[in-house]
Amino acid sequence: MPALTPEHLLTVWEQSARRHPIDRALLLFAIAAPHTPPDTLADQPLGVRNAALMALRRDSFGARLDAWADCAACGERLEFVLDSGQLPPAPTDAQLPLEIGGHRFRRPTSRNLARLAGATDADAAARQLLHDCAESAADLPRDPVALRELLDAVDAAMDAADPWADLTLGIRCPACGHEDEAVFDIGAYLWDEIDSHARRLLDDIHTLALAYGWTEPEILALSDTRRAAYLDRVQRERIQVGRGQFERGLA
């Protein structure tokens, strides 16, 4: 899988900026899985999508992930470092349905999430997802207690079979000792990095275009090392000019 080049990164940023997070993740998925037919991406299991996004992130920005979460008990911000190599391996059978309690369930997909995008009731959304993933929704129990028990069993089985579908991390607050789980959304994490890198890159292009009169393609054609070297020279020249103006003012 090729890493995102500066030119590609800006194109992806421009195309993704106004998209819904689900659509944005699918656009990134198309880049991460170029051999997957585009019209099937929305129906790929979430675990497949998320594992592909993590591989794209690793190839583009490295294996280290700087993350944070707020403690639900005391509000303390917890900062921690992850390595993509420490995360569970992607499942090899993510396309296979699961059989739980005599019912067969397909793995959740981006299309399933899109149907729940406007949901405000978490329990109702969970029940809707259960029905959407059931191969025979009509056979699901109608009794609320039995349905809740089945939902819990399906949730546990899905997590065990494919942790990448809803990746959670165990955290412990060093301030109050509270133990909790934090959801790691690789789609949102990768987009935040693309957005940050794109904005810095646009600042660099602006600075070098003003200083040297170069075009955007000419600046993007520079390696990161050479671009940084030119930016350093522009900054030093600005400091020297500012110092000279200050000294003339004193005179």
The pair of three-digit structure tokens given for residue 151, joined into one six-digit string: 């939902």
Domain boundaries, the chain: 1-91+168-194, 95-161, 195-250
Amino acid at 63: A
* Distance of alpha carbon 96 from alpha carbon 106, whole angstroms: 7
Tokens of 90: 């992607």
Q: Look at residue 40 and give its three-state secondary structure.
A: helix
Rounded Cα gap, residues 223 and 135, in angstroms: 51
Which parts of the chain sit beneath pLDDT 50?
246
Note the pLDDT tens digit of each residue in 111-140. Answer: 999 999 988 999 999 999 999 999 999 999
Chain centroid, CA 23 distance in Å: 12
Residues 6 or more apart in contact with residue 10 via CB below 8 angstroms:
198, 201, 202, 220
**Would you state the pLDDT for residue 84?**
83
Of 109, 104, 88, which is closest to residue 44 (Cα–Cα)?
109
What is the pLDDT at residue 94? 81
Q: Give the CA distances from residue 243 to residues 209, 238, 239, 247, 250, in Å, rounded to whole numbers and listed in that order.
A: 23, 8, 6, 6, 11
Phi, psi of 65 (to 5 degrees): -125, 115
Interior angle at CA 14, CA 13 and CA 20, nearest 5? 75
